[in-house]
Chains A and B, each alone.
Chain A
Amino acid sequence: MSDDLVISDLAAGYGHQSVLHDLTLRAQAGRLTAIIGPNGHGKTTLLRAISGLIAVRTGEIRLGADRISGLPAEAVVARGIVHVPQGDLLFPDMTVLENLRMGAFLPAAARQEKTVLEEVYTLLPKLRDRENQIARTLSGGERRMVGIGRGLMASGRVLMLDEPSLGLAPIVIEQIYEVIAGLRRAGRSILLVEENAMRAAAIADQVHLLDHGTLNWSGTGAELSGRPELLETYLGV
Chain B
Amino acid sequence: MDVFFQILASGLTLGAVYAISTVGLALVFGAMNMLNMSHGALMALGGYMAWFTMTGLGLPPVAGMLVAVLVCAGVGVLIYLLIAGPMLRSEGFETRVFIATIGFGAMLESVILMAFGPQPKPQPLAVQGGLSVAQVHLPVQNLLILALAMVLMAALALLLQKSRIGRAIRATAQNRDAARLMGVRVGMVYALVLAISGGLAAVSGITVSSLSSLLPNMGGDPMLKAFIICVVAGLGRVPGSVVAALFIGLFEAVVQYTVGVRFSFASLLLLVIVVLIWKPQGVFGRHQGVRL
Contacts and interface: CB of A to CB of B under 8 A. Distances in A.
Q: Do A and B share a direct contact in the complex (Cβ within 8 angstroms)?
A: yes
Given A101-B167, A102-B171, A89 B183 contact: no
Main secondary structure of the interface of B (DSSP, over half): helix
Interface in B115-150: none
Interface of A: 51-53, 72-74, 77-78, 82-83, 85, 89-94, 98, 101-103, 105-106, 110, 136, 150, 154
Given A93-B170, A93-B291, A98-B167, A74 B185 contact: yes
Contact of A89 (B175, B185, B186, B290): B175
Interface in B146-177: 164, 167-168, 170-171, 174-175, 177
B181 A83 contact: yes
Nearest to B186: A74
A102 B177 contact: no
A77 B181 contact: yes
A105 B178 CA distance: 12
6 contacts: A51-B181, A77-B181, A82-B181, A91-B171, A93-B170, A106-B183
Interface in B177-225: 177-186
A74 B167 contact: no
B292 interface: yes
Contact of B178 (A90, A98, A106): A90
B178 A91 contact: yes
Contacts of B185: 72, 74
Contacts of A150: 182
A78 B183 contact: yes
Q: Which 3 A-B pairs have the closest CB atoms?
A: A89-B178, A73-B180, A106-B183
Contact of A94 (B170, B177, B183, B184): B170
A74 B184 contact: yes
Contacts of B292: 93
A84 to B, nearest CB: 8
A91 B292 CA distance: 11
B194 to A, nearest CB: 19
Contact of A74 (B170, B174, B180, B291): B180
Of the listed residues B181, B185, B186, the one surrounded by the most CB atoms of chain A closer than 10 A to its CB is B181
Contacts of A94: 170-171, 174
A105 B168 contact: yes
A99 to B, nearest CB: 9
A191 B170 CA distance: 29
Of the listed residues B178, B180, B292, the one surrounded by the most CB atoms of chain A closer than 10 A to its CB is B178
B180 A154 contact: no
B182 A102 contact: yes
A93 B290 contact: yes
Contacts of A110: 164
Nearest to B168: A105
Contacts of A74: 180, 183-186
Contacts of A52: 180
B182 A53 contact: no
B281 to A, nearest CB: 15
Contact of B182 (A72, A77, A93): A77
B259 to A, nearest CB: 39
Given A98-B167, A101-B167, A91 B175 contact: yes
A147 B184 CA distance: 17
B180 A89 contact: no
Of the listed residues B167, B174, B177, B185, the one surrounded by the most CB atoms of chain A closer than 10 A to its CB is B174
A80 to B, nearest CB: 11
Nearest to A105: B182
Contacts of B186: 74
Given A85-B181, A105-B184, A92 B174 contact: yes
Nearest to B181: A83
A154 B174 contact: no
Given A73-B180, A154-B182, A92 B290 contact: yes
A30 to B, nearest CB: 23
A233 B113 CA distance: 72
Of the listed residues A94, A102, A150, the one surrounded by the most CB atoms of chain B closer than 10 A to its CB is A102
A89 B178 CA distance: 6
A213 B185 CA distance: 29
Nearest to B91: A15
Contact of B181 (A73, A98, A101, A136): A73
Interface in B264-292: 290-292
Given A94-B170, A102-B167, A105-B167, A85 B177 contact: yes
